[in-house]
A and B are shown apart, each in its own frame.
Chain A
Amino acid sequence: MSRKRRVGLTRLSVYVRDQRSRIALLSLAAAFTSAVQVGGWLLVGDAIDNGIRAHDTSRLDLDVGIYVGLNALAWVVGSFLIMGLAQLGQLIVLRLREHLFGHLTTLSLRYFSQQRAGWIISRITNDVDALSDVLSEGLSTLVGNVLTLTGAMIALAFLDWRLALATMVILPPTMIVARWFQVRSHSAFADVRTRISALTAQIAESLAGMAVIQSYNREGAFRTQFRELNQANQRSNQHAQNLSSIFFPAIELFGVIATVAVLALGSRLYEHGSLTLGTLIAFIGLLSLLFQPLQELSELYGQVQSAAAAMEKITTVLDVEADIASPPDARRIERVEGHVSLDHMTFAYGREPVLHDIDLDIPAGSCVALVGMSGGGKSTLARLVGRFYDPREGAVRVDGHDLREIDLVHYRRQLGVVLQDPFLFAGSIADNLRFAAPDASDERVEETARAIGLDRVALRFSEGLDHAVREGGSGLSAGERQLISIGRALLADPRILILDEATSNIDRPTEVLIERALDRLLHGRTSIVIAHRLATVRRADEIVVLERGRIVERGSESELMAAHGHFAALARELAAPSAAVVDS
């Protein structure tokens, strides 16, 4: 194993720093069970020489008694050991999972937009699982076999060094074959995993897209694609199995050859009287304790390799530093009033600024509408108010405090955000509404649902608001998902509300309902609205027109319409298709 990898796995030791005494106890237990296995054969040897051959039945009985006693004890200790190692392994896995996940929640949107979600999820699931496999199923195999192998080797050398040397004859070929198997099977089983996951992904995708496949008569193409992957999977599996089919019988073969070598030399030594029969038989018995652990450890080798590689990848996530965090002495705004000011603020995702020198003051309790062509920086601006990014220059202030100086989580809890393509979590509709207000009463949830017309949607489902939302909201229309996310934001009772194209897929009657609810429920709260529908925009106290990252116009609707500038042009364009319908 390379040094770099070892660094990866030793990192796990931080999770068991408080478990030293348990580890010591488990090591002792493991040493004992291995010692019993090795010692058993030594007792057999003694029973033969000093009991049977010496015609001493009391010595024989004593040996048998000790043998049975030790094995019975090993039974109990073995139980304790399996349980203890499982607890230890699971503790490490649990702590690692919590650490990794907790760390992810502190990373900023910048990280999540740069790193694909699938990649991150794979770290927290597949990679931790690879570690978990070694730590839960593999740990007792690993510890037990390493100790038994070591114990057996010591016992062999101790019993008779000449026979031990004879055994060495098969050591080089065994090592070569074991190494061959470790290397080859590691890549072979990795290949099996890749193949089966590719095949699974293909089937899953076919099932998800069955409507498209059937609708476009693509069955043949998909069948061909499947056949290829299925065949590749079969070949890969067969190859991996063939390696095992050679390796395990080969180790068996070496075991017999070692026995033969011991017998051949042993017979000479016995003849010369420098070896007892009991020693010879104990020696042959001990050989099995050499080869079986070797098989099991070789099998485990691939798993340990994968775990080390997994840990390395996990480390890359753990080492990412959170770029947006509250300072230690962060100020806590108990109740946000909602006075938002953007102070000569410039922002860039990469090198090119997306927002230039934005200077905007939103008084507490007012409503600002951001309009303009897409790509103008509206959503970015809204995100800066939630401090999902920090400005490059200037500052975002709420109630006069720079967002970088306040307790972020506490601030965001007083924020309500609704996006155009909202994300819903698994759980019922009611659970999703309660997302930001877990303690909300059933009455409040129902009241909120009614206020925005969600109760009507819920009628569609037999369980009403308890209808289970699956897989990010599939089964619900875009409009329904928006409705739920608006309800979620309302129930949070936010001091500042950000609506980013929040009602684009909601029919106008429902939108009117929502606006009334917003007016009532959010009286005196600050809101920032991004919308295209003029009816939505005109409700705002102030309309801000953004173009290529700059504020080009601002004012009330009537002021802007009278100015015949950007907004007036935009309004004409937005109204055009509907007007066409009316005029035709």
Chain B
Amino acid sequence: MAVTAPLGTVDPPDLDFGPTARHLTREWWVERRLVGIGLVCALATTALSISIPVLVQRVIDNSIVARDHSELALYIVLIAACALLRFATNSARRAITSRIGIVIENRLRATLYDAYLTYPRAFYDRHATGQVLSRATNDLYPIRYFIGWGVVQVVSSLMMIVGVAIVLLSVNARLMLYAGLTMPLIALLTWRFARLVTPLSRIVQQRKADLTEAADESVVGMEMVQAFGREAEVRERFRERAEGVRASQLREAGVEARYLPGLTFLPSMAIASVLFFGGRDVIDGNLTIGQFVLFNSLLLQLVWPLEALGWILNLAQRAIASASRAFAWLDAVRALPEPERPAQLPAGGLDVRFDDVCFAYAGGSPVLRDLDLEVAAGSIVAVCGETGAGKSTMLNLLSRFYDPDSGSVRVGGVEASALLKRDLRAAVALVTQRPVLFSLPLRDNLCAARPEATEDEMLAACEVAGVADFIDDLPDGYDTMIGERGVNLSGGQRQRVALARALISGARVLALDDPLSAVDTENEEHIVSRLRPALAGRTVLLSSQRLSTVSLADRAVVLEGGVIVEDAPPERLLRAGGAFERLFGDEVRVA
């Protein structure tokens, strides 16, 4: 019985707060110089921001109200100087804090990306692509804003609060207490608002993604929609999704409508208190008119730092959540191990052996049970069987995308896990059923495995794989850009390119997984006839549902229930009355 792979190595639980915070602090500490400069700038900005209203108060009390212009010019120069200096420090603070965030975001993304390149297939079987992508993109934004802007802003908010409190308390403690009463509510209200609105805006994004999906597939599948006359249903489905986006955005607007006007109202209450109590103090002579203005302007200057505290509190929670997921992967997910003392592949042709191989996908039932197969160097073996019989799994083991649960896979007499992965994979080329091409010129896609391949080698492979047959239809021939920004090749064309890519790679072993399934039967015949000589000297394992492709092989094996039930040349199996004949026999008799 196969042992299932432990899920912890491909799907670890999120990290706890402690380790997450340690990771984040380590990232942050790398930028300590910038953080230091940022904090100095923040401190200077705060001090200057408080100084300007204080100087304005002096102008009002000492120059205007006193009708004494002797110091006016000095004050004005001082205020202008402060403002100019603040412009410099504040610009620097903003630029530096955003830089910290951006640098850390990009470094984390690079770390994740590098890790992704090493993660085993089992990891990608387990996680949806969108989720893996999101951790290296959208999930990083809370971290970026928290660690960059947030951390410095918390300090400067606190400095501003303390500074304003000291100045105002020293001017008139009683008025400060009255007028300042409503101010902490601003931070509280912002925090509650952020807490409510964050999940809602995530829902909005989700709904938008749903809508995009509906639009996407309807446009791509429009022919089917029109062919069955289902326009009305598809429109209705789209309308429902669009309605879903609207509903979620209105929910978000509902929260905004409840909280945002309050954030304008609260500061106005502070001003009203200053008017009411401060006005009386002025009348009673306990407060100058300049100090009255100072109260107003400093309290208004507190609004943003307080709101920022509310936002950052929420941001911190999201940043920790994102980081705990990302670091859990970085800490726990491991590539399939490389051997300590790697073996070398022998020169010349390579044979392939499966010995008592058992395999099950993580959490699934066994696919291969004690499978044995020997493929002599330079021979072609077709692996046949019904869909789901384990053909693709077998071919994947050959490139060591998975390790067998027990038994061994040998290439050239060496166990796959005893070789460096790059040596093994340089020797084994895998062609998958739905091949992926990259957004590169066709030429670069073809030579992806061996960029140094000569033009003649490339052209020869394209001739064999049938790429040459459609090359004239492409706008720039072999230099045509492939992908969304260029030409979208059909499924059959992609398969032909993938086949040529494998031929160009020069790999001594080819694993072809239903390589021509999307190629129309006529072109398939041509390709098969040219492929035979092109494969000479290479060891080939191929799977297919079509007899015409299978007929390429020297030997066919039929996979059923995880073991090989038939093994002989295909022409003999055709009349053997067994599994192979059931699969293909009818196709011949009618001809």
Stretch at the interface among A8-16, A102-110, A298-306, A397-405: A102-110
Q: Select one of B279, B522, B591 contacting A373, CB under 8 A.
A: B522
A410 within 8 A of B: yes
Binding stretch for chain B, among A68-76, A349-357, A362-370, A544-552: A68-76
Contact of A245 with B by CB under 8 A: yes
| B9 interface residue per 8 A CB criterion | no
Please give, as numbers and ranges, the residues of chain A lying within 8 Å of B435 by CB-CB distance. 212
Query: Measured between alpha carbons, how far is A233 from B116 in the docked complex, in Å?
Result: 19
Contacts known (A205-B439, A212-B435); A263 close to B242, Cβ less than 8 A: no
A196, CB-defined interface residue at 8 Å: yes
Residue picked from B232, B505, B522, most chain A C-beta under 10 Å: B522
Interface check B254, CB cutoff 8 A: yes
B517 lies within 8 A of A509 (CB): no
Q: How far is the CA of A271 from the CA of B64 in the complex (A)?
A: 7
Interface residues of A in 189-224 (CB under 8 A from B): 196, 199-201, 203-219, 221-223
Whether A60 contacts B280 by the Cβ 8 Å rule is: yes
Distance of A200 Cα from B134 Cα, bound (Å)? 9
Q: How far is the CA of A504 from the CA of B492 in the complex (A)?
A: 12
Within 93-119 of B, Cβ neighbours of A (below 8 Å) are at 94-95, 98-99, 102-103, 106, 109-110, 113-114, 116-119
Q: Interface with B: A20-28, A179-187, A414-422, A442-450, which one?
A: A414-422
Is the pair B217, A472 in contact by a Cβ cutoff of 8 Å? yes
A101–B235 touching, CB < 8 Å = yes
0/1 per residue, B250-272, Cβ < 8 Å to A? 10011011101110110011011
Return chain B residues, CB-CB under 8 Å to A533: 521, 587, 590
**Which A residue's beta carbon lies closest to that of B113?**
A226
Question: Is A82 a contact of B253 with CB atoms below 8 Å?
Answer: yes
Distance of A56 Cα from B582 Cα, bound (Å)? 106
| B590 adjacent to A535 (CB under 8 Å) | yes
- On whether the beta carbons of B133 and A82 are closer than 8 Å, the reply is no
The answer for the CA separation of A456 and B388 in the assembled complex, in Å, is 10
**Known interface pairs A253-B87, A423-B220, A474-B434; A535-B253 also in contact (CB < 8 Å):** no
Judge whether B174 is part of the interface by a CB distance below 8 angstroms: no
Contacts of B226 in A (CB 8 A): 105, 109, 386, 388, 412
B586: chain A residues at CB < 8 Å are: 508-509, 512, 535
Contact between chains at B264 and A78 (CB < 8 Å): yes
Contact yes or no, A508 B585, CB < 8 A:
yes
Q: How many residues on chain A are close to B (CB under 8 Å)?
A: 167
Complex CA–CA separation, A456 to B181 (angstroms): 72
Partner of B387, one of A250, A388, A415, A480: A480
Q: Are A252 and B87 in contact (CB under 8 A)?
A: yes
Q: Verify if A264 is at the interface (C-beta below 8 Å from B).
A: yes
The answer, yes or no, to whether B425 is at the interface (CB within 8 Å) is yes
Binds B, one of A47-55, A154-162, A337-345, A517-525: A47-55
Q: Are B219 and A117 in contact (CB under 8 A)?
A: yes
Q: SS class of chain B's interface: helix, strand, loop or mixed?
A: helix
Tell me whether chain A's interface is mostly helix, strand or loop, or mixed: helix
Q: Given A121, A230, A417, A575, which contacts B591 in the complex, CB threshold below 8 Å?
A: A575
Q: Is the CB of B86 within 8 A of A252?
A: yes
**A86 with B250: in contact, given A75-B261, A94-B243, A472-B220 (CB under 8 Å)?**
yes
Residues of B contacting A64 in the complex (Cβ-Cβ under 8 angstroms):
272, 275-276, 279
Using CB atoms, name the residue of chain B closest to A204: B133
> Beyond A260-B76, A412-B229, is A109–B223 a contact (Cβ under 8 Å)?
yes
A552 to B71 CA separation, bound complex (whole angstroms)? 106
The stretch of B205-213, B369-377, B407-415, B533-541 that contacts the partner chain: B205-213
* A415 touching B439, Cβ below 8 Å: no
List which B508-566 residues lie within 8 A (CB) of chain A: 514, 517-518, 520-523, 525, 528-529, 545-548, 551
A436 to B233, CA, bound (A): 9
Beyond A116-B488, A210-B124: 19 further Cβ-contacts under 8 Å?
Answer: A67-B272, A87-B253, A203-B113, A205-B483, A217-B422, A222-B117, A233-B106, A246-B91, A256-B86, A259-B79, A263-B60, A277-B64, A373-B522, A374-B522, A456-B386, A478-B518, A508-B587, A578-B547, A582-B588
The 10 closest A-B pairs by CB, nearest first: A78-B261, A86-B253, A575-B591, A412-B229, A245-B94, A209-B436, A256-B83, A413-B229, A216-B449, A241-B98
